[in-house]
Amino acid sequence: MALASVPKVVFGLIAFAIFWVLAVFPAIPFLPIGRTAGSLLGAMLMVIFQVITPDEAYDTIDLPILGLLFGTMVVSTYLERADMFKYIGKLLAWKSRGAKDLLCRICVISAISSALFTNDTSCVVLTEFILKIARQHNLPPTPFLLALASSANIGSSATPIGNPQNLVIAVQSKISFGNFLIGILPAMVAGVVANAIILLIMFWKLLSVHKDEEDAGAEDVVEEYDSHRFSPATMSHYSSLNSQEWSSHLDAITVQNSPQVQILRNRSIANASESNGISSNTFDTARISSVSRDGTNGVASMAKEETSPSNSSAGVDTLIPPSERKTNFIIKWKRVLWKSCVYIITVGMLVALLLGLNMSWTAITAALALIVLDFKDATPCLEKVSYSLLIFFCGMFITVDGLNKTGIPSALWDIMEPYSHVDRASGIAILAIVILVLSNLASNVPTGK
């Protein structure tokens, strides 16, 4: 393709330079508007400078890529609600054999989760888990966070849904999900292994100095995971009740101001406070004093039975009516059934992608199936979709296409093509170096585009 007219080339370069600067340095002092607004500004300048017409600008927006991005983000949101990432995080602490074992686990788990659920989601969710584990075992967090960041990017390269640049490459080149996976998987595995070895060599002494605490510490981490949720929507109804809500709940199902309710209320407050490190003896005294004020022999006998854990749990079951226990049981199994359906739909989406079905519509279908299955207002889940990323892609499509119409990329490729034939080792090395440099200087998404 020949170079366009000089004004079009100059204005096209100016518009692309503004886009590039704001994409690489979103908080630049003289124009701190961010990447998303920067991509829209570059697109608008391409149209204003008449490098590209308005109709051509709309035509350059790749709807299949946007649909695939949207669908995968919605699916990831429902997987988060279904505690998928909590279970992945618990694998990091399950029967851990030390700091080096933990680092290797992070490399493997973050790579696999990034390939299936995008690297952004994996990094955001697993960072909190890794910080908790490092704090619990008195370990330096730096090696583990570096392992997460590097392995997530390596692992995400294995599938078209692993990161945005893979989406662009797979959709525009029409490479099927299965062929993409088969072609990249060996390199991804080798990269994860090499990354783990390099990190172990770099931080061997640091990881050897810091010793893990007793096994009880690992159990505490697992218990902390059980109580952790990423959003209120993922919490079950009764696990989210605090001690005050339990009090009002018990008042609704039993006679107000009864001695049994008072004892159970005191017990729930004590259990909540004990989890924050307050001695149980203090609350035992408070409960006994509260019982003594009632002056009822039956209450005093129940207070004595509180020292037995089995009696304590039996007392709770006794006070809750059978109808209420049945309702709790139904709610619990509805939650289990819903989570199972979320996992089944997600696996079905991956199978459909492997079978070569349209990636964009497959992801959108899975997302809508989860929305319908949830059977409630989908606004909270849809609000978690990164619409700024979708807008960034729209602006990037227009800006990059405008740059292509100037003829500059074609001219540069004509210069590099004789030296970058993929049928020669030297050509592959040169092409890899060019892509490596451009990905770090101009961002990997525009380079893939």
Q: CB neighbours of 80 closer than 8 A, spacing ≥ 6?
A: 121, 125, 230, 231, 234
Report whether 195 contacts 111 (CB < 8 A).
no
Distance CA 403, CA 401 (A): 5
Query: What's the domain count of the chain?
Result: 3
- Are residues 272 and 212 both part of a single domain? no
- Are residues 157 and 279 both part of a single domain? no
- Are residues 90 and 152 both part of a single domain? yes
Residue where one domain finishes, among candidates 228, 262, 279? 228
- Are residues 175 and 309 both part of a single domain? no
- Are residues 123 and 152 both part of a single domain? yes
What are all long-range contacts of 372-375, with beta carbons under 8 Å and residues at least 24 apart?
373/338, 373/341, 373/342, 373/345, 374/78, 374/338
- Are residues 111 and 187 both part of a single domain? yes
Helical packing angle, 99-117 and 142-156, nearest 10°: 30
- Are residues 206 and 123 both part of a single domain? yes
- Are residues 134 and 248 both part of a single domain? no
- Are residues 302 and 215 both part of a single domain? no
Residue keyed to tokens 């952004």? 120
- Are residues 197 and 251 both part of a single domain? no
**The two structure tokens encoding residue 21:** 């600067």
Report whether 132 contacts 227 (CB < 8 A).
no
Distance CA 54, CA 31 (A): 25
Distance CA 85, CA 81 (A): 9
Displacement of CA 260 from its chain's centroid (Å): 44
- In a domain, residue 235? The reply is no
Selection from 261, 283, 266 nearest residue 274 by Cα: 283
- In a domain, residue 150? The reply is yes
- In a domain, residue 4? The reply is no
Selection from 76, 81, 89 nearest residue 116 by Cα: 76
pLDDT value of position 449? 60
Residue where one domain finishes, among candidates 265, 290, 320? 320
- Are residues 272 and 199 both part of a single domain? no
Q: CB neighbours of 14 closer than 8 A, spacing ≥ 6?
A: 45, 49
Residue where one domain finishes, among candidates 320, 346, 376? 320
Vertex 91, ends 113 and 164: CA angle to 5°? 10
Sequential pLDDT tens for the chain (449 residues): 678 888 899 999 999 999 988 988 877 888 888 889 999 999 999 999 999 999 999 999 989 989 988 998 999 889 888 888 788 777 777 777 778 888 999 999 999 989 988 888 788 778 888 888 888 878 888 999 999 999 999 999 999 988 888 888 888 888 889 999 999 999 999 999 999 999 999 998 888 865 544 344 444 444 444 444 444 333 333 333 343 443 444 344 444 444 444 444 454 444 444 444 433 444 344 444 444 444 444 434 444 444 444 444 445 455 677 777 778 888 888 889 999 999 999 999 999 988 988 999 999 999 999 999 998 899 999 998 989 989 999 999 999 899 889 988 888 777 877 776 767 777 777 777 777 776 665 556 666 56
Report whether 82 contacts 100 (CB < 8 A).
no
- In a domain, residue 24? The reply is no
Distance CA 79, CA 360 (A): 18
Report whether 29 contacts 38 (CB < 8 A).
no
**The two structure tokens encoding residue 348:** 């079905």
| Cα→Cα distances 1→57, 82, 406, 447, Å | 19, 51, 9, 19
Residue keyed to tokens 């124009």? 31
Vertex 423, ends 420 and 425: CA angle to 5°? 70
Helical packing angle, 309-319 and 297-305, nearest 10°: 130
- Are residues 221 and 93 both part of a single domain? yes
> What sign does the dihedral 252-254-259-262 (CA atoms) show?
negative
Distance CA 93, CA 99 (A): 11
Question: Which structural domain range is residue 266 located in?
Answer: 243-320
